Chains A and B, each alone.
Chain A
């Protein structure tokens, strides 16, 4: 059976010995077919439940370990393309308030991040198409907020035990710059973080000025 670590959290085991699977759901979107497959699997194997999570994924829980492979196959593919959790709002494509296209930004980020799967940190991302921040950008390790002039990049937010709003790294970034800034920020974070350290603690320990510099300079001193 696959473990947490080789599927990026798409499958994991719980205290009661039963497993949890997360079907593929790129950027939180799905179609009727994938939804139908999940429903059929849950009914066929008489599983106790399905949950929509705050990470914008579906989670099938209560799967006996011996059924994990069968269920995985029946569901199609597992969530695993992007090694990082990402929440986003509908953005410019749909929402009447949207100022930037969150979905294409999330896809571009996922493409870049796929190649960075071995990085030593596991930041969570939030991408919002307007300053209302419905993609939870302020309380994610790395957040993006769209406005009329481009993207604002945030770092160091958290919504969990040590809740904290992120701080601004840069404003008015174009799509291409966002990717460059995020990559440099991640490299700096991974290179200097203590084991298990989240962006919030890191930002407080190292200081935001250092993070900003690393994000802006192609060659950090």
Chain B
């Protein structure tokens, strides 16, 4: 197999590729939508789909077109394979939703900017919800944040796929700054102590949430 083109995932036919432009917390602009639509037309992209990670996947690109599409899009790559922070998913929060208690979109953008691409033992997904309804699925992401009246709750070790696991609460009633600090500490602790390819869910399961709390919050 020749080297995989930049930011591309080989598809079932072993010929075509999928790419995922970076759209932090799912926000897109008319410019990015048009760029995607234009590229889709120009290069005959057969499938476009919105993913659960709040991104738009362009699927079925010919190998020689991958670089050209990226060039036309003028968008960054949204990590979709590889051992790093893939995306931050957020609900509309106080920005738009009538139920929102915290600014999940704003905080999500801040965390996205900081963490996406960060090298990790395995892929890592973050879900940040503006109220306890948890529309950003915080309990089933590697790291989840939930906005409540008294502040942010941080949950870790959730997973929605193959071996699902509900995340454990790491800390509660945090200010935005404190929540960011706790998330950073957890991510560092996990990165430094987990085996390769071990997802946060398995790591928290193995270490135990009590020990995680002790290690992460002690310092």
Contacts and interface: CB of A to CB of B under 8 A. Distances in A.
Interface of A: 14-16, 18, 20, 25, 27-33, 35-36, 38-40, 42-43, 49-54, 56-58, 61-62, 87, 90, 92-96, 98, 128, 131-136, 138-139, 157, 159-161, 163-165
B164 A165 contact: yes
A140 to B, nearest CB: 9
Interface of B: 10-12, 14, 18, 23, 25-31, 33-34, 36-38, 40-41, 45, 47-57, 59-60, 89, 91-92, 96-98, 132-137, 139-140, 158, 160-162, 164-167
B108 to A, nearest CB: 11
Contacts of A98: 12
Given A14-B97, A96-B12, A164-B166, A29 B47 contact: yes
A138 B52 contact: no
A131 B162 CA distance: 5
21 contacts: A14-B98, A28-B49, A30-B48, A32-B45, A35-B33, A40-B30, A42-B30, A50-B33, A51-B28, A54-B26, A54-B53, A56-B49, A57-B50, A90-B59, A94-B18, A94-B47, A98-B12, A136-B137, A138-B161, A159-B139, A165-B166
A36 B50 contact: no
A38 B37 CA distance: 10
Contacts of A31: 40, 48
A94 B12 CA distance: 5
B12 A133 contact: no
Contact of A30 (B50, B54, B55, B164): B50
Nearest to B137: A159
Task: Please indicate which of the listed interface residues A51, A134, A157 has the most CB atoms of chain B within 10 Å of its own CB.
Answer: A51
A50 B25 CA distance: 11
Nearest to B139: A163
Contacts of A35: 33-34, 36-37, 40, 48
A39 B40 CA distance: 14
Contacts of B51: 28, 52, 56
Top 4 A-B pairs, shortest CB-CB distance: A15-B98, A163-B139, A133-B161, A165-B164
Contacts of A43: 30
A30 B45 CA distance: 11
Contacts of A18: 96
Contacts of B89: 54
